[in-house]
Structure 1
Amino acid sequence: MSSGISYKSRGVGPALVFLHGVGGGAESWDAQLAFFGDRFRALAWDMPGYGGSAPAAPADFPQWAEALAAWLDEIDVERCVLVGHSIGGMIAQQFMTRHAHRVTRLVLSATSPAFGRLDGDFQRDFIRSRIGPLDDGKTMSDLAAQFIPGLVGADADPEGIRNAVSTMSRVAPQTYRDAMQALVRFDLRDWLASIGVPTLLVAGEHDKAAPAKVMERMAEKIPDARYACAAGAGHLANMERPEVFNAILAEFLEA
């Protein structure tokens, strides 16, 4: 039975699996597939509901984590280095709660172990700001043009920004709505101490969505973790500063 997941792949060798963010897709990792494809079997999925991947029901983190496991089974990946960005980092954490034996190393980029209570003021304001424009008739292209510039640091790579805007523009509105609703319910803070593999946390120096100080504190709660800051980057370090991000990841993989 097919997992229903579309993906991009480059190279052969140990599996290096990339999970994108809420406005992303497999294309978000093009710079990483090109860079690491000569040493790894570098793979980037379209999470359920994105790109050519079938939606998951329910659209929540446990279901997405199981979809990840099924996809890895389908493509014959028993164990991998798992790299998750933003909501992809949350899926990676959820995956670790049931499938930790399949992960040799873990990389969490621009993410968090929790978003907070669904009924909190911050969460309500966040949902309103991100989904409200769709309710007002805006398109995903409109949202991409509105939000991407505020997610990146100064002097971001122009090609990376074009990629980010183009990819977010193609996200289905319902998929985006579902992901945002799931995001504010996520909370695995109590699981951080249970992560038992070498872990790298990467923060963008100017990231306002997943601030560097928050990620540094997150690293302190994971037993075998190290923290790195991507100089000059905002929330999309892998696209806006790919050379910086790739160098940080390569150093971790070679340690």
Structure 2
Amino acid sequence: MSAPRSSATSPVTLVFTHGFGDSSRSWDSQTAGLSDRYEVKVWDLPGHGDHQGEVPLDCDIDSTATELDSIVADSSGSVFLIGHSIGGYISLRCALATSTHSIAGLVVISAGPGFRSAEKIAAWNSKMDRMTDALSLPPSASRVVYMTDARVMERLPSLATPTLVVRGSNDHEMYLSGSGYIAAKMPNAELLDISDAGHDPHRSHSQIVNSAIDRFVTRTMSVDVSRNEYVRVPNAAE
């Protein structure tokens, strides 16, 4: 695993996971806007960015989520997972699988919950193969985001982690409906629609997204920034 890039130490760590065909540089506006208040970690999916060409033969969506979990394990304080597109799905999958590390919160941007039917899963995987070719990624990079089951979709109602779901009003219908589904099924989720934004609101509307992340973390943690004190606010399920 390539080491994630991180900012200065803070009692709260934000771990950012980018979307397919992108890189950790997609979060530059978030790193610049949030690293004065939080420890910010960004990393590259296998086959992407600084991780290009490093796709193990046994890599799949679960091993990718496990890699994210190892970053969580190496993080200090309260950890928030923030993911865009398939990175949001991977963050959800990681949160569902994590048993030894506590995830304080999730921010899921322009993402979907996956699929139930084998036909839709197969169609998604084929689409990732085509995108891999079109983006000139290593041929095995598509395996990093292959869907394998309906675990996330089926277990969303049991995931009580406080969650902010962000979607752009001009995004593709699949992501608009997928984001709405996530927000509706999770017991402690809220939905933020950003007008005139497409699939990448963290780029096109970075100040709005950064402010939303900051407010969400503050509400979740009950932060006194001046004294650098962080106290978790119990959610309704606790």
> Shorter-normalised TM-score: what interval?
0.7 to 0.9
Q: Structure 2 vs 1, CA of residues 30 and 139 (structure 1 numbering), >3 Å: closer, same or farther? A: closer
Aligned partners of 1:8, 1:133: CA distance in 2, in Å?
A: 25
- 1:29 deviates by 0.4
Paired letter, 1:17: V
Paired letter, 1:124: A
Match of 1:42 in 2: 40
Paired letter, 2:143: D
Q: Which runs of 5+ in 2 are unaligned?
A: 220-238
Q: 2:207 aligns with which of 243, 251, 254?
A: 243
Q: How many correspondences in the alignment?
A: 214
Q: 1:206 aligns with which of 145, 170, 175?
A: 170
Q: Structure 2 vs 1, CA of residues 206 and 62 (structure 1 numbering), >3 Å: closer, same or farther? A: same
Paired letter, 1:216: G
Contact 2:61 2:144 in 1 (8 A): no
Match of 1:108 in 2: 108
Contact 1:198 1:225 in 2 (8 A): yes
- 1:12 deviates by 2.5
Match of 1:229 in 2: 193
Q: Structure 2 vs 1, CA of residues 177 and 209 (structure 1 numbering), >3 Å: closer, same or farther? A: farther
Using structure 2 for the length normalisation, give the TM-score. Answer: 0.79
Coordinate RMSD, CA, aligned: 2.6
Match of 2:71 in 1: 71
Contact 1:79 1:104 in 2 (8 A): yes
Aligned partners of 2:70, 2:125: CA distance in 1, in Å?
A: 32
Q: Structure 2 vs 1, CA of residues 78 and 58 (structure 1 numbering), >3 Å: closer, same or farther? A: farther
Paired letter, 1:30: D
Contact 1:12 1:38 in 2 (8 A): no
Aligned partners of 1:129, 1:67: CA distance in 2, in Å?
A: 20
- 1:130 deviates by 6.2
- 1:66 deviates by 1.2
Q: After the TM superposition, which parts of structure 1 deviate over 6 Å for at least 4 consecutive aligned residues?
A: none
Identity, % of aligned pairs? 25
